[in-house]
Amino acid sequence: MTGDPMIVKVAKAIAVATGDVDWRVHIATARAAVGAMREPTTAMLQAAVPDLPNWGYLPDDWQAMIDYVITEQTS
């Protein structure tokens, strides 16, 4: 798993979706979009581990990953 930081991948996807050529102008939007995903939904947790009645540390792990992406450097 290499390549661009996740926040750059999100910014580039926003740039493509909006028809913009400069992904850098979308970094703040990418951070906001990723931040909106900080709390996993029940459906997301069930998709990850459908047979468990308790998700244990999964929500905390998810939030840690999202927090990392939000603060990730672009270069």
pLDDT of residue 55: 85
pLDDT of residue 56: 87
Compute the average pLDDT of residues 1-16. 92
Helix and strand numbers (H, E) in the chain are 4, 0
Model's pTM, two decimal places? 0.87
* Separation CA 26–CA 41 (nearest Å): 25
- Residue 1's pLDDT band (cuts 50, 70, 90): low
* Separation CA 31–CA 72 (nearest Å): 9
* CA 49 to mean position of chain CA atoms: 19
Is the pLDDT reported for residue 35 higher than 80?
Answer: yes
Sequence-distant (6+) residues with CB within 8 A of 22 are 15
Compute the average pLDDT of residues 22-51. 94
